[in-house]
Amino acid sequence: MDATNSPVRVAVVGMGNVGATFAYALLLRGVAAEIVLIDVNHAKAEGEAMDLSHTEPFAYPTRIWAGDYRDCATAAITVVTAGAAQHPGETRLDLVKRNAAIFAEIIPEVAKQSPNGIILIATNPVDVLTYLSLKWSGLPAKRVFGSGTILDTARFRHLLSEYFDVDPHSVHANIIGEHGDSEVPVWSLANIAGMRLPDFARATGVPHDQFQMDEIFKQTRDAAYNIIQRKGATYYAVAAGLMRIVEAILRDQHTILSVSSLVSDYYGLNDLCLSLPTIVSRCGIEKVLHLDLNDGELNGLKNSAEVLKKTISSINLS
Ligand SMILES: NC(=O)c1ccc[n+]([C@@H]2O[C@H](COP(=O)([O-])OP(=O)(O)OC[C@H]3O[C@@H](n4cnc5c(N)ncnc54)[C@H](O)[C@@H]3O)[C@@H](O)[C@H]2O)c1
């Protein structure tokens, strides 16, 4: 079938917590006409397809089935969530060898079947796996990217909104760099209604000091550890974030999201993937925005880049 006349298809590889919750969020949003579910455990994908398809009468007409990589052929976007998740106490970078081996099988197959589609990575460590996916797919950088710090930025905005008692949609603040321990809060540009946070605090009578702000950042950065310790995994917020990225692509929304993509000549950083505020549209990565960072933030970003480069160089790319 000619891809331009096909119903809008999204493929999801990996039907675990993240993949199944994402498919559910996508179904409820009604932005895809077809959702194909792929997992090495085909029975799991079949079970999820059956369960999800019974949601359809309460949501939108959507064709959902358990498929294989050939079904990626006409997919506008293939979202990859397959692989091992963190165990309590494990960092995202600890997962790298296990998940790189899985990606070496998955990514060339997806790219072969869907050379004109977009590949969106969620599996951790997401920045490293996005970089490997770019290399292993051979697709253009604007069509291979990761969910990056979209989740951390959501956690940050949520916590700031609670502290300042405003809607999180009104909080403009970003986490950049690695989706992981070296991530960086961009305090210097954080604002509510265009007012820097200390000014907003003064205007509304909310106490403000850097110690409290640092606590908010620590809770943001360590949220996954705290959730995994209690319930074993995190998936609702990342699934909603993936759904938001997919919606921005399919509806050509030019939304600014902190996704992880190839960095080129960004304060001298090159040839790695990390998160920066990025315009996301139907073509994928429309533009990575150049932020006016202060010295501390820039040092933090460079440290994040170094951590990621070290991890990438520890993997055999052949
Ligand atoms: N990017 C983020 O913000 C974010 C947030 C939460 C979790 N994650 C990551 O997402 C990944 C998935 O987490 P989860 O909780 O869904 O894990 P999970 O263990 O519940 O599911 C993983 C799924 O991948 C499948 N799988 C494994 N190897 C495969 C292969 N070769 N081909 C196809 N499918 C394969 C498994 O059968 C399983 O169903 C983890 O790496 C986790 O760290 C990312």
Confidence bin at 317 (pLDDT 50/70/90): low
| Residue-wise pLDDT tens digits, 246-285 | 999 999 999 999 999 999 999 999 999 999 999 999 999 9
Q: Which atom of ligand 1 is nearest to the CA of 152?
A: 3
Q: How far is the CA of 86 from the centre of ligand 1 (A)?
A: 9
Rounded Cα distance between 172 and 179, Å, is 18
Largest CA distance in the chain: 61
How high is the pLDDT of residue 95? 85
Residue pair 289/160 in contact (Cβ under 8 Å)? The answer is no
171 sits in which H/E element: strand 171-172
Segments in 147-235 forming alpha helices (H): 150-164, 197-204, 210-221, 223-231
3 state SS of 260: strand
| Residue-wise pLDDT tens digits, 92-145 | 777 898 899 999 999 999 999 999 999 999 999 999 999 999 999 999 999 999
Element counts in the chain: helices (H) and strands (E): 10, 16
Residue pair 95/122 in contact (Cβ under 8 Å)? The answer is no
Rounded Cα distance between 209 and 303, Å, is 25
Q: What percent of the chain has pLDDT over 90?
A: 91
105 Cβ closer than 6 Å to some ligand 1 atom: yes
126 Cβ closer than 6 Å to some ligand 1 atom: yes
How high is the pLDDT of residue 241? 98
Q: Which atom of ligand 1 is nearest to the CA of 82?
A: 24
Q: What are the distances in angstroms from CA 11 to CA 26, 66, 94, 101?
A: 11, 10, 27, 21
286 sits in which H/E element: strand 284-288
- For residues 172-196, give the mean pLDDT: 97
Active-site pick, 54, 179, 254, 290: 179
Among candidate residues 79, 73, 109, 66, the one with its CA nearest the CA of residue 1: 73
- For residues 135-159, give the mean pLDDT: 98
231 Cβ closer than 6 Å to some ligand 1 atom: no
Q: How far apart are the first and last CA of the chain?
A: 35
101 Cβ closer than 6 Å to some ligand 1 atom: no
66 Cβ closer than 6 Å to some ligand 1 atom: no
Q: How far is the CA of 12 from the centre of ligand 1 (A)?
A: 11
Q: Is the pLDDT of residue 187 over 80?
A: yes
Q: How far is the CA of 140 from the centre of ligand 1 (A)?
A: 24
| Residue-wise pLDDT tens digits, 230-250 | 999 999 999 999 999 999 999
3 state SS of 229: helix
Q: What percent of the chain has pLDDT over 70?
A: 97
Q: How far is the CA of 18 from the centre of ligand 1 (A)?
A: 6
How high is the pLDDT of residue 288? 98
How high is the pLDDT of residue 2? 43
Q: Is residue 290 annotated as a catalytic residue, yes or no?
A: no
Structure tokens at 245: 């990225």
86 Cβ closer than 6 Å to some ligand 1 atom: yes
Residue 273, beta-bridge partner list: 262
DSSP string, 12-57: EE--SHHHHHHHHHHHHHT--SEEEEE-SSHHHHHHHHHHHHTTGG
Q: Is the pLDDT of residue 3 over 60?
A: no
153 Cβ closer than 6 Å to some ligand 1 atom: no
| Residue-wise pLDDT tens digits, 46-78 | 999 999 999 999 999 999 999 999 999 999 999
Q: What's the pTM value of the predicted model, to 2 decimals? A: 0.96
Q: How far is the CA of 45 from the centre of ligand 1 (A)?
A: 13
